Amino acid sequence: MRVIFAAGGTAGHINPALAIADKIKALFPESEIKFVGAVGGMEERLVKNAGYDFTSFRMDGLQRKITPQNIKRNIKAVHYYITAKGYAHKLLKEFQPDIAIGTGGYVCAPILTAAAKMGIKTAIHESNSLPGMTTTMLSKHVDKVLLPNGDALAHIPHKEKCVITGNPLRSNIPIEERSSALKKLGLPDGMTIVSFGGSLGANKISEAVAQLVKWEQTEAKDINHIHSFGGNGKDMFEGLMKSVGIAPDERFRPQEYINNMYTCLCAADLVISRAGAMTLTELKAAGRASILIPFPQAAENHQYYNALTMSKSGAAILIEDKDLTPELLLGEVKALYNDRARLAEMEKSAAALNVPDATDRVVSNILDLIK
């Protein structure tokens, strides 16, 4: 079996493709798999690290806000797309895949459009509750549209092509018992909070977390808290700690990056984070309650819709970035600290949203297409 993947831009697009590729390779070891992404994108590093063949096109996205600078960018993006269409046709003709699979990113458009015109079977997987422009545009051309949940289905016009599969996770994701994860981290017993959001646009999260930790260290002294302030947030967060009078100790661990994220998620009773598709997929797999603060500059505000799916199901508390204050976050955490039964119900709701066989469902649909 010969399979070509088009994926790029974010880990939420790339990691599902890697999970699908891993499964195909496990079932059919002789399969030939090729990835296509944008020049200089994170997909190049992630795909090569996973051991798959990678080819890149120069691609850029269309800017919705009309400014003189964005008009120039859009002209360049159209030029890249026209050029990429020729590259895509040549690549498909040489590789001769049985199927072309897109999982998001601008590179999907030239690959899947060319494949459909050449009579190659096509499928696109969407990981967000609000399908992106690429998925919506391609849904009329591809053979199957694979979706994470029912909320996404409402936004696709060609519903006859749609199948709800959930979001694939790579099989090397370790899900541990909470007690085991706490022990591995060397944390004492007690409610454990993990907070992160990256440094980009996350200053409000760190400001609110600093006040939350002040309450933890002065009043609720049995709470463990791991907080990632991101690569550009070190000086800012150190200043915040000094200004509110908090410091790292046995229970409070501020750090630039969380390199053992899955262990931390498994140790957590509560996660405070943005609402990227893969983060939420991992929260559901681990069955963890969360307070979600969607990144407002995410394309088409899709993180808000991801968080909305979680909050409607009782798995998360949704706080929009514009509404976030230290007082609001502290109030929500205090309420959960004092109501462990509600926290436990949120965990159950998160676990109920998990689709543990999502990768199998995706691969089954792929095999149905190519017989």
Q: What is the largest CA-CA distance in the chain?
A: 66
The answer to the question of residue 132 being in a domain is: yes
The answer to the question of residue 78 being in a domain is: yes
Tens digits of residue pLDDT in 190-207:
999 999 986 554 588 999
Check which CATH number belongs to the domain holding 27 and give it: 3.40.50.2000
Whether residues 60 and 127 fall in one domain: yes
Task: Return the pLDDT at 135.
Answer: 93
| Averaged pLDDT, 70-94 | 70
| Averaged pLDDT, 95-104 | 96
Structure tokens belonging to residue 117: 């015109």
Distance separating alpha carbons of residues 319 and 273, to the nearest angstrom: 10
Q: Given pLDDT bands bounded at 50, 70 and 90, which one contains residue 105? A: confident
Whether residues 236 and 106 fall in one domain: no
Tens digits of residue pLDDT in 271-323:
999 999 999 999 999 999 999 999 998 888 999 999 999 999 999 999 999 99
| Averaged pLDDT, 221-243 | 92
Query: For the chain, what is the mean pLDDT?
Result: 91
Half-sphere exposure for 105 (CA within 13 Å, toward CB): 30
Whether residues 244 and 348 fall in one domain: yes
112 pLDDT higher than 50: yes
Whether residues 121 and 257 fall in one domain: no
Structure tokens belonging to residue 364: 């089954």
The answer to the question of residue 172 being in a domain is: no
List for the chain the helix, strand, coil content (%; round to 5): 50, 15, 35
Structure tokens belonging to residue 358: 């999502």
Tens digits of residue pLDDT in 148-182:
999 999 999 889 999 999 999 987 677 889 999 99
**What secondary structure does DSSP assign to 55-82, as a single string?**
EEE---PPPSS--HHHHHHHHHHHHHHH
Q: What is the CA radius of gyration of the chain?
A: 22
Q: Given pLDDT bands bounded at 50, 70 and 90, which one contains residue 139? A: very high
| Domain count within the chain | 2
Task: Return the pLDDT at 79.
Answer: 47
The answer to the question of residue 248 being in a domain is: yes
Tens digits of residue pLDDT in 212-230:
999 999 999 999 999 999 8
Task: Return the pLDDT at 6.
Answer: 95
The answer to the question of residue 69 being in a domain is: yes
Sequence-distant (≥ 6) Cβ neighbours of residue 245 within 8 angstroms:
214
| Averaged pLDDT, 27-46 | 90
Sequence-distant (≥ 6) Cβ neighbours of residue 13 within 8 angstroms:
7, 43, 103, 104, 105, 127
Whether residues 198 and 305 fall in one domain: yes
Structural domain including 211 reads 178-353
Q: Given pLDDT bands bounded at 50, 70 and 90, which one contains residue 64? A: low
Distance separating alpha carbons of residues 111 and 345, to the nearest angstrom: 43
The answer to the question of residue 14 being in a domain is: yes
Spatial strand order in the sheet of 289-292? 252-255, 224-228, 192-195, 270-273, 289-292, 316-318
Lowest-pLDDT range of 34-43, 199-208, 252-261, 341-350:
199-208
The distance in angstroms from the start CA to the end CA of the chain is 11
